[in-house]
A = this chain, B = another copy of it.
Amino acid sequence: MAVQPIVTLENVVKSYGTFTALHNINLEIAAGEFVTLLGPSGCGKTTTLRLIGGFETADEGRITLAGSDVTQEPPYRRDINTVFQDYALFPHMTVAENVGYGLTVRANRRPKEERDRRVREALTMVGLADKAGRMPQQLSGGQRQRVAMARALVRQPKVLLLDEPLSALDVKLREAMQVELKHLHQKLGITFLMVTHDQQEALVLSNRIAVMKGGRIAQIGSPSELYDKPATPYVANFIGAANLIACTYLGEEGNIARVKLADDTVVSGHRAENAKALKPGDACLIAIRPERFQTSGVPDGGSAINATVTDQLFHGGRFQLELVLDGAAAPLFIEIPRNSVVADGTVPQPGNRITLGVAPPDVLVYAAEEDA
């Protein structure tokens, strides 16, 4: 990044008792970025956020905020605000009091007029100007979430931390709030660092995503980088549900790698970073996205895979087919848009045999040692 980073973590380590929650984390976030920490439960996302927010202290390493070392500062001396997972609205204050709280504290007391104005602005921004007098318990989940946003934003922090800000909302609301969150970020230009375990959310919102695994950052990059070039099968599987198929490595010609599946089908693909050391005969894994399979024929230079349909799931706009590959045990999922199918009039039914085509760029070859 060219811009000077607003938040940096350098070799940060954090343990709870004998358990090391974070191993040597390094992270740089540029001003104005929207970065997401993504990973399964217990991988250390919240811990990372809490270290930056100041609610925990790092055992080792350095955390800087806009260039100054804040590793040992308490939360109330950091120019950062947090939107908590369950919002942590003060139940004994009205919406306006909640939002204004950060402007009444001794360290940052503002004159009443300024405070009122800023509270009003913040509430207007999140569309809750008319709810100022309500108590938090009188609001719906989505409204609470927005109050929490307003409360953090009214302080005009350099960085906004969000710990699973949408996870308590139901699907429809979550999708709507994702869009709002994105617009808010675009409008304000504040740096957002968000935690989520929902890959869809991460893909939609972020400039960059850091995929974490067991207290380490497995890969960091833009959504399309992660989707198109996942560094490991773990990342491939975590972002966008890849199909992972065991294979035997045959060799490479040009940039086309060739592998053999259980039923001896030969498939062409591209080697991922971690597969550079593969030698012919080694065990490998290929990853293919559900939507990259073609049911209408085999593309030029592509491979054909034979499978049996075991189930057909109707998703409205598209079908999801569950297949079993010849000679394999684990099922495979592919997605086909409904309109194309309907046009043909051919919806593959359970029991049908089917031939799938995949182009080499859609097949990523990995070494098999990684657990998926």
Contacts and interface: CB of A to CB of B under 8 A. Distances in A.
A289 B227 CA distance: 26
Interface string A338-354: 11000000000000000
A79 B37 CA distance: 49
Interface in A114-130: none
A35 to B, nearest CB: 15
9 contacts: A170-B197, A182-B313, A183-B311, A204-B314, A223-B314, A239-B316, A240-B317, A291-B337, A337-B337
Given A291-B339, A292-B339, A338-B291, A314 B179 contact: no
Given A203-B314, A240-B317, A290-B317, 15 more contacts: A171-B198, A179-B311, A179-B313, A179-B322, A182-B311, A183-B311, A200-B316, A203-B315, A204-B313, A204-B314, A223-B314, A240-B316, A289-B317, A291-B317, A291-B337
A296 interface: no
A297 to B, nearest CB: 14
A133 B210 CA distance: 40
A204 B315 contact: yes
A97 interface: no
Residue in A223, A316, A318, A320 whose Cβ sees the most chain B Cβ within 10 Å:
A316
B171 A316 contact: no
Interface residues of A, number: 34
A335 interface: yes
A291 B315 contact: no
A138 interface: no
Nearest to A183: B311
A72 interface: no
A170 B292 CA distance: 26
A224 interface: yes
A339 B295 CA distance: 14
A239 to B, nearest CB: 7
Interface string A175-193: 0001100110000000000
A224 B338 CA distance: 11
Interface in A7-52: none
Q: Can you list the 10 inter-chain pairs with the closest CB atoms, starting with the nearest?
A: A240-B316, A291-B317, A204-B313, A223-B314, A227-B316, A203-B314, A203-B316, A337-B337, A203-B315, A289-B317
Interface string A287-328: 001111000000000000000000101111110101000000
A170 B201 CA distance: 14
A292 B227 CA distance: 25
Contacts of A171: 198, 200
A323 to B, nearest CB: 13
Residue in A182, A197, A204, A320 whose Cβ sees the most chain B Cβ within 10 Å:
A204
Interface in A207-225: 223-224
A315 B335 CA distance: 14
A171 B204 CA distance: 16
B338 A317 contact: no
Nearest to A40: B172
Contacts of A198: 171
Contacts of A224: 314
Contacts of A317: 240, 289-291, 335
Contacts of A179: 311, 313, 322
A279 B290 CA distance: 46
Contacts of A240: 316-317
